[in-house]
Amino acid sequence: MSHKTDVEIRAPRDDDSVVDGVPLPRPGDDAWQRTRVAIADGQVVGSASLMLAPVTDWYFCEVTVVPEYRRRGLGTRLYAAVYELTERSIPVVTRAMSSRPIRRRFAESIGCSTLVHCPAPWIDPTSTAGQEWITQQQLPDGYQTVAMDELPIERVEQAWATYFEWAHRPFGTVHTDQLPQYWTRYSDGLDPDASRLSIKTATDTIVALSLVTPDAWDGRTMIVSETVHEEQRHGDQLLGATIAASLSGLADQGIRRVELEGHSTDAHSPQIVQTIPAGGGDPMDILKLAPPHGGSAHEAARPAAQRGHAPPAERSEAP
């Protein structure tokens, strides 16, 4: 491909030829309408897409440019083009993982601020250190841990929804009416046996959860975990023991890399992360992106867009 070829920024088309490594939503998907592509030599060499988070008011932005066309301002042009498709009252955010440093550099070139940090530590539950950590986690008296498939799914959903609402407040308004639909999609990918919940025996109340998504991406099995209520007595202890129950089951399956998801703003998971034996990780910041330079002059709100799926915690190299 020629580096001097003029590059056109436009909406994607069904019959576009796409260079390997450039992600595009499926035609007809919600994000397809909020995608712009860079065309050079008749091929898509870069893309920018916006996904409207399903239950919170923010757009996830993914910008990708193939290596041969980087450092030419294409990422900035793509971001400016896709920003024109936003409703201005809704912020635009992106994920910057340690394993993808180019993402942070690009975000900083645009202008950004950190909304929340996600430590994302890895643990090998089959290792000696992992087994020792699992053994150290003990429930307080009066509680028990059960597998997700031992409880009515409606009770699990309600506990998850209660947790989700308070844990995602730092990101803005949580549209609780959208949670049932989001739960349906999310729960379809859970391992109901490895996912564990802790219950207060006297009241049969779910107090903590550890939800396991096997092989979520990049070979990682992921655990989303927290107490059901932000203010929970014995919260750290309950959460540690609930996670340990999931890890014990995953160790029996021979799973060697498990990532613990969580936010620096969570009530208890930051304390748990500090006790996890060193096993690597892929820390991530969620960054709020500034409007494109010169783009703030057009602040009229766009028509509200239909709420879509949040993107996977991925994966493609940014420009």
The pLDDT tens digits of the residues spanning 244-302 come to 999 999 999 999 999 999 998 899 999 999 999 988 999 999 999 999 985 443 333 33
pLDDT at residue 88 is higher than 70: yes
A 10 A CB-CB count for 221 gives 22
Confidence of residue 95 (pLDDT cuts 50, 70, 90): very high
Tens digit of each residue's pLDDT (9 = 90 or more) over 242-251: 999 999 999 9
- At 63, which helix (H) or strand (E)? strand 59-65
Predicted local confidence at residue 3, as pLDDT: 52
- Measure Cα distances from 37 to 68, 227, 230, 309 in Å: 15, 42, 42, 20
Confidence of residue 177 (pLDDT cuts 50, 70, 90): very high
Q: Which CATH number fits domain 8-118+284-297: 2.60.40.3680, 3.40.50.1370, 3.40.630.30, 3.40.605.10?
A: 3.40.630.30
Predicted local confidence at residue 148, as pLDDT: 97
Predicted local confidence at residue 80, as pLDDT: 97
* Sign of CA pseudo-dihedral 131, 242, 172, 54: positive
Rounded CA gap, 318 and 310, in Å?
18
Predicted local confidence at residue 217, as pLDDT: 75
Over residues 109-131, the mean pLDDT reads 94
Predicted local confidence at residue 57, as pLDDT: 87
Fold (CATH) for 122-273? Aminopeptidase (3.40.630)
Domain boundaries, the chain: 8-118+284-297, 122-273
pLDDT at residue 4 is higher than 80: no
Could you check whether 8-118+284-297 and 122-273 share the same CATH topology? yes
Tens digit of each residue's pLDDT (9 = 90 or more) over 34-84: 999 999 999 999 999 999 888 988 999 999 999 999 999 999 999 999 999
- Whole-number mean pLDDT of the chain? 89
pLDDT at residue 313 is higher than 70: no
For residues 88 and 199, the model is more confident at 199
For residues 42 and 217, the model is more confident at 42
Q: Which amino acid is at 296?
A: S
CB 200 within 8 A of CB 143: yes
